[in-house]
Amino acid sequence: MFAKVSSLGLFGLNAFQVDVEIDISRGNPQFDIVGLPDTVVRESRERIRSALRSCNINFPVAQVMVNLAPADTKKSGSVHDMAIFMAVVKAMRMINGELDGCSFIGEISLNGDIRRINGVLPMVMLAREMGVKAVFVPYDNASEASVIDGIEIYGVKNAEQLIMHFRDEEKLSPFPHYDIPEAAYNEVLDFADVRGQQSAKKALEIAAAGGHNALLIGSPGSGKSMLAKRMPSILPPLTFEEALETTKIHSISGLLSEDMPIITKRPFRSPHHTISSAGLAGGGTIPHPGEVSLAHNGVLFLDELAEFDRKTLEILRQPLEDRKVTIARASGTVTYPCTIMLIGAMNPCPCGYFGHPKRKCICPPNKVAGYLSKISGPLLDRFDLHIEVAPVEFEDLSSKAKEEPSSAIRERVIAARKIQEERFRDTGITCNALITPDKLQEMCPMDDSAEKLMKNVFDRLGLSARAYDRILKVARTIADIDGCEVIKKQHVAAAAQFRSLDRKYWTGQK
């Protein structure tokens, strides 16, 4: 007896088709699974035996051979349990319904319950592209899968439901399509809570409007973390394509909830400074996404930047330029996207008061130099905005005046992004920070006074080519906020001002 059932596999972000073929023939009773299965896949034999007993079906006393095709692609995880179960019952002629056009993904427990799995969204997206008509998934994953339109999703709670559905005894109903709600910002931390710090707020508004990386430097208690944690409240909304990209990464990491099966707000990830290189960039035997990929289309906030291991930080250099992380393992190579805004926050020295206007730094010069040297020149060069967060004045803290809310700042950010959307239409570029070198001069025209100032800044500060590009991109964003098509002198001056802190701290000038 032979049967064939469709399933789906996952390696990294890439889903692939898996055909579960089964042959039940006379011979010594045994149950083998071939086709490069890992340990978890091989263990499905015992789960399926027990699940069949829970449905009052005796496992065949015969030679049972299951092949997971293509045989040269490694299969991992418990995602194929449901498909193998259905192949067994179909080969035993226990169901009548046709399985053509159906795919099955899910884990089966010993009592026949269908358990939640990770990575349903990218697999369902592939199923739709393949022309599959219906996908059977664990009930807890059904809302996540129903985000994809144009394909029927069936949420299954247990193996008995599957058998009854294909016996036409009790049909399952397709899960309703999930309508994506508008992102709500009422529970997000608000910039109205931050007293003073007008300069830093303006700088973060520029960063949000253009998708720029920013480094906050200041003494303890000046509000660096408080400012950075409010960035999600002023970021523009995700497009549907960006939401799907981001959700796919969170799906394979098992970070989606049943209540919110699609990411509607730009992610904000804030790992602790003890994080490992694999935790930040991704890794493992089967490479999983790291924090830099989980922050895709959002913000990666590294608080206490100088406390991170230097080797861990240096891993970020290439992903920040390429907007992707490639992890090579013996089992294959996986690429995860990581288009992020990197926000760093740090003290200028171990005691935190180097360069403070009122308190004296107690750190020896070599300690200050050693602390700052944890941030290498190439990494520092990748921050578009260097923001000095000054100590808050008493007048600001005691003022009864209301601070500008995040909603007002977000309106200006969205207006600037709409200008960029029109400018970059059909180019694949989404914001000013992603302007490619070949389009830089075309997208960032300067008037004569701005060009002259840029030349003076470049010569006087001894900028690298990367720093020049980044100043020009920041100037482009400031011009967009002002509603100017051509970059003017004041825009270049403001952008150059945000590249001065490396001279103050990293060269020891006060």
The pLDDT of residue 296 is above 70: yes
SS3 sequence of 12-73: CCEEEEEEEEEEEECCCCEEEEECCECHHHHCHHHHHHHHHHHCCCCCCCCEEEEEEECCCC
Mean pLDDT for 17-42 is 91
- Which pLDDT does position 209 carry in this prediction? 95
> Residue 292 corresponds to which amino acid?
V
Crossing angle of the two packed helices 489-497 and 448-461, in degrees rounded to 10: 20
CA–CA dist 327, 304 (Å, integer): 27
Chain mean pLDDT for the chain: 90
Question: How many of the other CB atoms lie within 10 Å of CB of 453?
Answer: 19
pLDDT in tens, 442-451: 999 999 999 9
Containing H/E element for 214?
strand 214-218
Mean pLDDT for 220-240 is 92
SS3 sequence of 411-454: HHHHHHHHHHHHHCCCCCCCCHHHCCHHHHHHHCCECHHHHHHH
270, two tokens: 């804030």
Q: Does residue 329 sit in helix, strand or coil?
A: strand
CA–CA dist 198, 195 (Å, integer): 8
**Looking at 27-41, 174-188, 301-315, which range is the least confident one?**
174-188
- Which pLDDT does position 187 carry in this prediction? 65
Selected from 3.30.230.10, 1.20.1740.10, 3.40.50.2000, 3.40.1010.10, the CATH number assigned to the domain covering 2-166 reads: 3.30.230.10
What Cα–Cα distance (Å) separates residue 293 from each residue in 163, 240, 327? 40, 18, 12
Q: Per 3-state DSSP, what percentage of the chain is helix, strand, and coil (rounded to 5)?
A: 40, 20, 40
The pLDDT of residue 165 is above 50: yes
The pLDDT of residue 510 is above 80: no
Mean pLDDT for 82-108 is 92
On whether the CB atoms of residues 13 and 252 are closer than 8 A, the answer is yes
Domain limits of the chain?
2-166, 191-426
pLDDT in tens, 319-350: 999 999 998 887 778 899 999 999 999 998 89
Q: Model-level pTM greater than 0.85?
A: yes
361, two tokens: 């730094």
Mean pLDDT for 427-451 is 91
To the nearest 10°, the Cα dihedral for 231, 235, 241, 243?
Answer: 40
Q: 191-426 falls under which CATH superfamily?
A: P-loop containing nucleotide triphosphate hydrolases (3.40.50.300)
Percent of the chain with pLDDT over 90: 65
**Looking at 353-357, 388-392, 442-446, 454-458, which range is the least confident one?**
353-357
The pLDDT of residue 215 is above 50: yes
Mean pLDDT for 353-376 is 87
pLDDT-derived band at 359, boundaries 50, 70, 90: confident
User: From its phi and psi, is residue 267 left (phi > 0), alpha (psi between -120 and 50) or beta?
Assistant: beta
- Which pLDDT does position 509 carry in this prediction? 40
- Which pLDDT does position 445 carry in this prediction? 93
- Which pLDDT does position 505 carry in this prediction? 72
On whether the CB atoms of residues 464 and 380 are closer than 8 A, the answer is no
- Which pLDDT does position 507 carry in this prediction? 62
